[in-house]
Chain A
């Protein structure tokens, strides 16, 4: 696993384009995410945040290129092992219990232990069917699933959806511990302020492209066009 100061970014995206029908959603996205750093993708509803994550996760075919640690990302299982994806609506089946879901996804990932230890009380009772859980409790299970195995890149689409204040704090702590271990995190959210100091920088998507930040609250001024400042002196700046 490359170090935090490796010149090769953990994730490199170049010229990513995606259109649905005649509608261009992504129009040449360039994005670098260093190992152990976290980026918030901000933007209005329909700006393409989810589509970008889905393209990187290999769920949606797009033109352009994505690399992880210098290797092309494709739909092969070996590529998928390096990343973990939390969809906007995980849609966990109501009949299954939390432990059954964690068991299944742990088997599919080849490792049943989470990337980082989850705080006590983060997960609801795992012997309860999902149908009996609240939206926030379901989201906590989906987050736990996303943390299974040893991904080097976490792609989280609105991970704070339905979470209460304690869930926010716990998630923030989990993500910080993950980045401390060198894992990179990309979070899509329409309201980056909610994430407080969780992310190092914010990349705003508008018109299918990553646009320069519009103010200090939105993120670091030196991550124009989604490119992270290279080299060992890269600062990790909090947003919001």
Chain B
């Protein structure tokens, strides 16, 4: 049996577990409710201004989509390996004739598919509501949001798996994952807003700050794809001037890919080296 088949077998098993335990369902329910709320309030505010279309609803959906699924992804990624280690199941897995790399990869794949299902469910509900008023162009915009949301979710699951591979206990892993999400989703933004003027970071400093934060990179990528560089102000003008629109998209996508592959590599190294 090849390592890929072993990874798929393990992922299918973990995914079945995620589906049978309530947490993924609860996460999907909360995200769907938030997506529905954001879409509905966006549509109402647009309609109250006498405007047609789904612009505000899509904006609301973007904010919700780049906050909740990364949290769910990080918690899912951090949970499985750490929990399995704590209860002894990881020792049973690791003593099988498989490469240890299979363990974090299987965990990642299961978490990825679970969080993608959450995103599909939540955005499906929101998208259904939007589709009643949206133009074809707005549906295409929503599709771009979905793709970026899936990429951000992948990065968050990978970060969670890396945290689990490094943590000593399940509690430590989930606490660290929640803290990481808080830092990436809110903390760095607030920190940047506070210190950027004082430090005179400039556009290149801001770009670096965006690239070291996958959630921020996803947010900027969505803005770039949906509303264009104008929505990013002077920073967007700098970005387009330096690397062009396609280059900017490439850099931001590259950041998300690096934030997925980097943590996975770290998890694989940690699991191979440490005692189980």
Contacts and interface: CB of A to CB of B under 8 A. Distances in A.
A104 interface: yes
Given A90-B92, A105-B92, 11 more contacts: A57-B91, A59-B275, A59-B276, A61-B275, A85-B92, A87-B88, A87-B91, A96-B16, A104-B9, A104-B13, A108-B1
A60 interface: yes
Interface residues of B, number: 29
Given A93-B17, A95-B17, A107-B9, A59 B99 contact: no
Interface in A127-164: 142, 145, 149
A75 B100 contact: yes
A63 to B, nearest CB: 13
Interface string B78-97: 00000010111101111111
Interface of B: 1, 5-6, 9-10, 13, 16-17, 20-21, 84, 86-89, 91-100, 272-273, 275-276
Contact of A60 (B20, B93, B275): B275
5 contacts: A83-B95, A84-B95, A87-B91, A91-B92, A108-B6
A89 B87 CA distance: 7
Interface string A43-87: 000000000001001111100000000000001011111011111
A113 to B, nearest CB: 15
Nearest to B273: A61
Contacts of A88: 88
A80 B88 contact: no
Contacts of B6: 107-108
Contact of A100 (B10, B16, B21, B272): B16
Contact of B97 (A54, A90, A95, A110): A110
A181 interface: no
B1 A107 contact: yes
B197 to A, nearest CB: 47
Contacts of A108: 1, 6, 9-10, 93, 96-98
The 10 closest A-B pairs by CB, nearest first: A91-B87, A91-B88, A85-B95, A81-B97, A80-B97, A89-B88, A77-B97, A108-B96, A95-B20, A60-B275
A92 interface: yes
B33 to A, nearest CB: 25
Contacts of A177: none
A59 B95 CA distance: 7
Nearest to B5: A107
A83 B9 CA distance: 21
B89 A80 contact: no
Nearest to A108: B96
A85 B276 CA distance: 13
B102 to A, nearest CB: 9
Given A96-B17, A108-B1, A59 B96 contact: no
A107 to B, nearest CB: 5
Interface string A118-129: 000000000000
A188 to B, nearest CB: 13
A59 B98 contact: no
Contacts of B13: 96, 100, 104
A63 B111 CA distance: 36
Nearest to B80: A93
A109 interface: yes
B99 to A, nearest CB: 6
Contacts of B17: 93, 95-96
Nearest to B3: A77
B253 to A, nearest CB: 35
A57 B20 CA distance: 31
B9 to A, nearest CB: 5
A149 to B, nearest CB: 8
Nearest to A81: B97
Contacts of A91: 84, 86-89, 92
A83 B91 CA distance: 13
A86 B92 CA distance: 7
B89 A90 contact: yes
B97 A109 contact: yes
Nearest to A88: B88
Nearest to A60: B275
B1 A110 contact: yes
